[in-house]
Amino acid sequence: MVLLDRTVLQVEAANEVVHTVDLRDAGAVEAALAGADAVLHLGGLPDEAPLEQLLDVNVLGSHHVLEAARRSAIPRVVLASSNRVSGFYPTGHRTGPQEPVRPDGLYGVSKAAIEALGRLYADKFGVSVICLRIGSFEEVPTDPRHLATWLSPRDAVGFCRAALTGPFSTRFATVYAVSANTRRFWELPAQSELAYMPIDNAETHASQITDADVPAGSEAPQGGPYALPEFTLKHLQP
């Protein structure tokens, strides 16, 4: 297992190799990934930020990973997308990955661009690319929105393992990585897309969440507070 981060990592197992790499350094990314069988790409800015920063790190950094895969003939790349690419669909709508993107902010825009890059490299260069639209990755759900969006650690591992090891005949797929929540907004992947069905359900934690029983309006955006103008306005140039 080859692990990359921009901060110094410590080797914790005999089968690990670590590299300190900035995603913006295309040559370093390619050198570190040489010989890999598959890539799980989780690096980048994880939340709303100025667009130029998101483009520099998330989009250009992902391009460097995909280009390293093409040049090194790595057959499978798993990209960390986000549920935030569709945050403006209403909560009453069960959303599938085939529907047009409706990002709830600049971060969502950067993830939509990453998905488009993945599709390009799949169609044009034959790299098998799986985009995981990751839900709210938390140890346990802690707010009412999580009752729909929670991705448990166990299910996160399951989705990532399935995406890394699934048949390379799958040229491209985008799937929502979300636990089997009763209140979820999103379609679960078909077995033909990803051989994993989530196990956990945020509903088992509902009694510990304040306002869990307060109904959300069916027309409210799935992104919740991320869809509010002020969430993005503070990152725009004055």
Q: Where are the alpha helices (DSSP H) in 20-152?
A: 26-33, 51-54, 60-72, 106-125, 146-149
Q: Cβ neighbours of residue 193 under 8 Å, at least 6 residues apart?
A: 170, 173, 175
Based on the residue annotation, tell me whether 89 is a catalytic residue of this protein. Answer: no
**The one catalytic residue among 107, 176, 196, 226:** 107
DSSP letter for 13, please. S
The partner residues of 88 in beta bridges, in order of sequence, read none
The partner residues of 40 in beta bridges, in order of sequence, read 78
- Show the 3-state SS of 151-219: ECHHHHHHHHHHHHHCCCCCCEEEEEECCCCCCCCECCCCCCCCCCCCCCCHHHHHHHCCCCCCCCCCC
Which residues carry out catalysis? Answer: 107
